[in-house]
Structure 1
């Protein structure tokens, strides 16, 4: 752990760059074979995470799919939900926040306790963190599926540097350093 946490966007995507279909379904992801102990796996990733952030759509998906039927909130680390909606957190570890990521930097770093910060999603929230210069790394597991439409992986023009690649059963996994915004070239 460093004194400066790494802001990481760790996610999965379809080959054509979508996180979810237009109805926010992840059925394309949940049917793919993966080795839980394989390359770029979640268990190793989450061990370095001290706090997490997500947008409303991701939070709602978790409520509907992971916390339904009386199951508890699956995370014990601080979680910040960025939204303009009035919501009541379902766990003591959840904070509902508004505003741009830059205005929450100090609170996120403090909550992470010297560990890294996971931008769970969605793609637009991750891009807002990048715009605030608060996204250091993108780790994506690409599934052998195309959707043609849906929630985009990262809806901004950015240059990335490929740092590492691996295969985890059906997934091609890639780790990128965020270089910065990609300028528009006049035609």
Structure 2
């Protein structure tokens, strides 16, 4: 039996449901080695971004010599993945990313899935996440809830119109206080 690639939403979120602060800050995000983010990166072939998220993080390169948490190898691994950027703008592909401007999200995502041997990380931002939710294209939700309340910021589930029923598959609790909740699509 052939295993199909899954689209996995893997995000850090605050206890009050924000993915970033009001000024885009993510300084609250704990890079906990116990979470083994490296293992997650090893199970994916591709990353899907919205254009704004790609502009911020798609080609991110940290300051050289600032490798206190092994971030250089993490970013190397991230940048080795195929990147798909969903945008309303007309942008030509680069050596690093495929820019996609389509109204047929379902067939485009299915085509990407068929080209991948491993899973696909839906990185974000909020608009592309909402579109994927509306089209039922997320196979797994991995939400790492961080022990911080921001009060204001960019909510994870913004403009979601319909109820989304999920099934809890796994819970991981880390010494840092981060709790990772892994959900799959609800089966009725």
The TM tier, using the shorter chain, reads 0.7 to 0.9
- Whether the 8 Å contact between 2:6 and 2:113 is mirrored in structure 1 is no
SS in 2 for 1:28: coil
Q: How does 1:137-152 map to 2 (within 5 A)?
A: 137-152=140-155
State the aligned residue count.
172
- The alignment yields a C-alpha RMSD, in angstroms, of 2.7
- Whether the 8 Å contact between 1:165 and 1:174 is mirrored in structure 2 is yes
Partner of 1:132: 135
In structure 1, distance between residues paired with 2:153 and 2:24: 8
- Whether the 8 Å contact between 1:124 and 1:154 is mirrored in structure 2 is no
In structure 1, distance between residues paired with 2:44 and 2:107: 20
In structure 1, distance between residues paired with 2:85 and 2:17: 23
In structure 1, distance between residues paired with 2:26 and 2:86: 21
Which residue of the other structure, out of 25, 49, 61, is the alignment partner of 1:54? 49
Q: TM-score, normalised by structure 2?
A: 0.79
Tell me the CA shift for residue 92 of structure 1. Answer: 1.3
User: Structure 1 regions of 5+ residues with no counterpart?
Assistant: 181-187
SS in 2 for 1:125: helix
Partner of 1:173: 180
In structure 1, distance between residues paired with 2:168 and 2:3: 24
In structure 2, distance between residues paired with 1:151 and 1:96: 24
Partner of 2:61: 67
Tell me the CA shift for residue 88 of structure 1. Answer: 6.0
CA deviation map 1:59-117 (0-9, x unaligned): 122168x336689874111100111235566x5131111224314124312442x2111
- Whether the 8 Å contact between 1:50 and 1:111 is mirrored in structure 2 is no
